[in-house]
Structure 1
Amino acid sequence: MGFSAIAFFVYAFDKAKAQRGVWRIQESTLHLFALLGGWPRAAVAQQLLRHKSKKREFRTVFWGTVIIIIAGLLWLYLESDGEYLRFLF
């Protein structure tokens, strides 16, 4: 199971905890899952579960992380003629 699927479950777990009013997962941990490649399903979880979707500061950091990831992948692709990214596809 990749980080993207794990990220979705972490968001769902945190949402359930929020609804019960108990200890929560730190936002930095949610951002770490996004940074490690979990951002696609984390974005889906935000919308589907309506979790962290209204918190502006969180969304700003989240989408900034996504931009950094995409920029890094684009840079790797352009600098290596695609050699470093072949393992992803």
Structure 2
Amino acid sequence: MITNLITPGTTAFAALCLAGYLLLANALAYTAFAVDKSRAIRAERRIPERSLLILATLGGWIGAKLAQHRLRHKTRKQPFGILLNLSVLVIPGLIATAILLQSDLTWDKLTTQAGTTAQGLFASSDSATLPRRFGPGSAAP
């Protein structure tokens, strides 16, 4: 029964693949930070910051942030910290851009829809009557 759910082409299979990818990406990012910290302590050749940021950007952001806090590594390097925090926005931004590019949504349609929705929300309708109240103190109309 469960094998029927996790077959190629199903949503469960795609979710399983995504979970596996994210697990691998976060493990790689955490390991890279740990290796870089170890090399920093031993005054050996370091892993370039660009490589660490690429690993974080490609889905390993949680592993990178976890390693940064647990290992106390690269916490004072402010340009790196800001770039690491911004790297989490890259993939969702790319996905949102791809969705918008695939849709037929244009700026004109978007502004027209927003204007129509706003007019519907703020329009006063005089024909609408308030519901009748029941109970003590309510007068019959």
Give the alignment's TM-score, normalised by structure 2.
0.51
Residues 9-88 of structure 1 correspond to what in structure 2 (within 5 A)?
A: 9-73=31-95, 75=96
Task: Classify the secondary structure of the residue corresponding to 2:89.
Answer: helix
The answer for unaligned runs of 5 or more in structure 1 is: 81-89
Percent identity (aligned): 35
RCO comparison, higher one (Cα < 8 Å, 6+): 1
Task: Please name the residue that 1:87 is paired with.
Answer: none
Aligned equivalents of 1:35 and 1:66: distance in 2? 6
Task: Classify the secondary structure of the residue corresponding to 1:22.
Answer: coil
CA apart distance, 1:54: 1.3
CA apart distance, 1:53: 1.2
Task: Classify the secondary structure of the residue corresponding to 1:2.
Answer: helix
Amino acid in the other structure paired with 2:89 = I
The answer for unaligned runs of 5 or more in structure 2 is: 1-22, 103-141
Q: How large is the Cα RMSD of the aligned pairs?
A: 2.0
Aligned equivalents of 1:30 and 1:60: distance in 2? 13
CA apart distance, 1:69: 2.6
Measured against aligned partners, the alpha-carbon deviations of 1:9-56 in whole angstroms (never above 9, x if no partner) come to 110000000000110000000011011111111000000000011110
Give the alignment's TM-score, normalised by structure 1.
0.77
Aligned equivalents of 1:54 and 1:70: distance in 2? 27
